[in-house]
Amino acid sequence: MPNSLASDSKEEGEKSLPTNVINVRDLEEEDVKLLESLVERLRAIRRKVKGKGSRKEDGFERSAGSWAGLIDGEELIHNIYADRLISTRPEVKL
């Protein structure tokens, strides 16, 4: 497969393209078909991901309820209220 980055060779009258753009005119037909199939697969993946929402939301939803059975809810509430009764501030001296 010949090196066909647009910045490698500029023909007369041809506009300059970004360096990450491939000039498909210089590629063989089977390479062009391979690129087209890859582009279609990437587009399909992008469509699937677009409909799902952000990664943070997905991770949050997947972890929902994963701690069930590991923590006793009543004991947790009891400990929270007990911790609120403990004063960690030093007394004010007047």
Question: Each residue of 35-44: pLDDT tens digit?
Answer: 888 888 888 8
Q: What pLDDT is recorded for position 55?
A: 58
Domain extents in the chain: 1-56
Element housing 48 (H / E) = helix 29-50
Contact 20, 8 (CB under 8 A): no
In a 3-state reduction of DSSP, which class is residue 7?
coil
pTM of the model: 0.33
Residue 6: exposure state from Cβ atoms within 10 A (0-12, 13-18, ≥19) = middle
Q: What pLDDT is recorded for position 3?
A: 47
pLDDT at 23 over 90: no
Comparing 10 with 71, the larger pLDDT belongs to: 71
- Average confidence score pLDDT of the chain: 75
Q: What pLDDT is recorded for position 69?
A: 79
d(CA 17, CA 52): 34
Closest of 64, 6, 2, 46 to residue 28, by C-alpha: 2
pLDDT at 78 over 90: yes
d(CA 94, CA 85): 24
pLDDT at 84 over 70: yes
